[in-house]
Structure 1
Amino acid sequence: MKILSGNVRGLGRPEKRGKIKRLVRERDVDVLFLQETKRRNMEDHFVKSVWPYKEMEFMVVDAVGSAGVNIYAPNEVLGRRQLWESLVGIHQHFPNPWCVGGDFNEIRFMGERKGCLSRDRRMKDFNDFVEKLELTDMALLGKQYTWCNAMDGNRWSRIDRFLLDVKWMEKFSFKQWEVKKRWEEAQVQGWAGFRVMRKLNLLRSNLREWNKVVFGNIDTQLKKAEEELHEWDLKAESRSLEEEELNRRREVRS
């Protein structure tokens, strides 16, 4: 499953909606979140102008506060902390599986930023929120960062992400979704037995690629993490680690 989220202004312009529609089709997007649209009413015909597929379901949350599961977190540290606390507070009243995505205006680990100031306490607040709700951080496709300062391009951060409840993943069955989709897409000619065998071979290849995209090569990642952690342990034995080094060591351990 592919989920796309973005801050979008200018949806009143047909050319802007056309670009979004082409992007959804080209990237084979399954779920689309749009925020900062500055538009209150979303009728069927308007949504169809950004959604390229026949099957469609949608919902709209008015631009009041930070309501909804599509997050646009405040720039202020206190505002973000209050948002995390609010989400934790309402979580118990909404027992259904959660999918929380959007612009969180915060990173989780030091490796998710480049050229930006250290923000240890703010990361801790965000990570505490993720852990309390027991959410899974979905892998990012394509670029390593999701934000760059437009002025000089020397500051980068990953502040946009999707956090999924494990029950959400189980309920919507990611792997089954992908299996059904790939099976139906496979066009094979020949007798029945050949078509089945050929589709199974194609499916095996697709699932292998899907697993790498979503989770990465687990064995390779574990090996690299173990080697890096070993290096940090050796350094820690010979000297005291700096704060940024300690944060990186914690990130590797997690």
Structure 2
Amino acid sequence: MEKMEIFSVKMCWGNFVFNYVHSDSVGNSGGILCVWDPSSYRKKDVTVSDYFIMIRGVWLKTGCDLLIVSVYAPQELNEKKMLWDYLTHVINNWKGEVIIMGDFNEVRCKSERFGSNFNVQGANVFNSFIVNAGLEEIPLGGCSFTWCHNSATKMSKDRFLISENLMITCPNFTTTSLERYLSDHRPILLRESHFDYGPTPFRFFHSWFEMEGFNKLVEDAWNEAPVDESNAMSNMMKKLKYLKQKIRDWNKGNMKSSKNIKAKLKDDLKAVDDIIDNGEGNDEVVKLRMDVLKSIQDIDKIQSLDAAQKAKIKWSIEGDENSSFYHGVLNKKRSQLNIRRILVDGTWVDNPQRVKNEFLHHFSKRFDKPATNRASLVMNFSKILYCDQQVELELKVYKDEVKRAV
């Protein structure tokens, strides 16, 4: 029996280089099978249940502890509540990263279910579980629904959930729904994708105004820019292009300088703290420490302003001294808004050059000059309004008249 199970897993996996854990089926519900490459993930221990398989181990690529949970949730709401509560307890006591996947038998909002009743209470409980467990959903690419009834009258969505810190450290995680063929579920592929779409667009940061010398840099660059007196618009474009390059060079050098200055300030702070710890502190040393702290805080404030602007949040309303909050919001927005692949003739394309070409082709067709053989009206209109026409145009418009016209 064991050899048969291994052979069956090998048919799914493709070779014998794997470890696996499975739970048996319960009634009409199928079991759960988890398979992984031992060179990428090292298992420590496993918890197997009728509704989930929980694997604790180490992600060898990063060396971090990783909890992987594969779920096949029950249908009854009270049983699902018990499952969500248990998983929340385990995740909150886990000192590492988390990935949860599978069939949750629940949706987060009405738009994720089609052809069946939407249970508001169940959705609220599920959303509370995601928040309380500190999880984030990875946006799904491809088809909107991952499960479809054989009659094609009912559909719903499955998903991947990961810990908030994993979203920050691995912002390039993406999920895509694949073809379902004979199954009623579409497989979901999770992977970390790195695509180079060329240079990033130029963005102006408000924090630059807080830096000494920036205003003079802009003024000098504008006066030094080449002048094209033959065309005012071309002259403006060339001056802006010259200014943009000057700001880029200044920002690159300023970032490197700020990093070095902050490192030196931290060393200075440590030296001052050592003096105080040795009992040699005085008013001058305390003042020096306050000055060093203020300089570090000024640098941190500028960096936080940049992160807040990238994440499109207001510092005064949603500010937090913990900069990881901003990076979390920023990476989440990037993950949600990034276009990493597109569907072309039924095939998902993720090559950056092909993606850009498809966008160019699509919008070129939409905004290109219309064909010359356009329809035209050849009618002779009078250039004079007669008195009765003038009176009719100036009459008050009534509601019934509008209804008749519509």
TM-score if structure 1 supplies the norm length?
0.51
**Matching residue of 2:130:** 130
Other-structure match for 2:99: 99
Partner residue in 2 for 1:163: 161
Q: Is the 8 A contact 1:35 1:70 kept in 2?
A: no
Q: Which residue of 1 aligns with 2:250?
A: none
How many correspondences in the alignment? 164
Q: Which amino acid aligns with 1:204?
A: Y
SS class of match (2:197): helix
Indicate the RMSD between aligned Cα atoms, in angstroms. 4.2
Does the aligned pair in 2 maintain the 1:35–1:72 contact within 8 Å? no
For 1:105 and 1:163, the matched residues in 2 are separated by 14
Larger Rg: 2
CA contact (8 A) 1:139 1:213 kept: no
**Residue 64 (structure 1) aligns with:** 49
Aligned to 2:291: none
Secondary structure at 1:95 match in 2 = coil
In structure 2, do the counterparts of structure 1 residues 212 and 88 end up closer, same or farther at CA, with 3 Å as the change threshold? Answer: closer
Q: Hey, what's the Cα distance between the residues in 2 that align with 1:114 and 1:35?
A: 31
Is 2:215 the partner of 1:215?
no
The whole-number CA distance in structure 2 between the counterparts of 1:86 and 1:142 is 31
Q: CA offsets per residue over residues 197-252 of structure 1, 9 Å max, x none?
A: xxxxxx225999xx99942369xxxxxxxxxxxxxxxxxxxxxxxxxxxxxxxxxx
Contact 1:137 1:164 in 2 (8 A): yes
What percentage of residue pairs aligned between the two structures are identical? 23
1:174 Cα deviation after fit: 3.4
Deviation at 1:143, TM superposition (A): 1.4
SS at match of 1:127: helix
The structure whose RCO (Cα within 8 Å, separation 6+) is larger is 1
Specify whether residues 40 and 137 from structure 1 end up closer, same or farther in structure 2 by C-alpha distance, changes over 3 A only.
closer
TM-score by length of 2: 0.33
**1:71, 1:63 → 2: CA distance?**
10
What are structure 2's unaligned runs of at least 5 residues?
26-30, 55-68, 174-191, 202-331, 340-406
Q: Provide the residue aligned with 2:197 in structure 1.
A: 204
Deviations 1:36-89 (A, max 9, x none): 6779999xxxx68xx7xx954364846434341122211221111111111222
Q: For 1:215, give the aligned amino acid.
A: Q
Partner Cα separation in structure 2 for residue 75 and residue 207 of structure 1: 47
Please name the residue that 1:200 is paired with. Answer: none
Q: Answer whether contact 1:11 1:37 (CA < 8 A) is retained.
A: no
Residues 38-117 of structure 1 mapped to structure 2, 5 A cutoff: 55-57=39-41, 59=43, 61=46, 63-65=48-50, 66-68=52-54, 69-117=69-117
SS at match of 1:118: coil
SS in 1 for 2:96: coil
Q: Distance in 1 between matches of 2:200 and 2:41?
A: 27
Do the aligned partners of residues 173 and 114 (structure 1) sit closer, same or farther apart at CA in structure 2, a change above 3 Å counting? closer
Contact 1:115/1:154 (CA < 8 Å) preserved in 2? Answer: yes
User: Match for 2:41: what amino acid?
Assistant: E
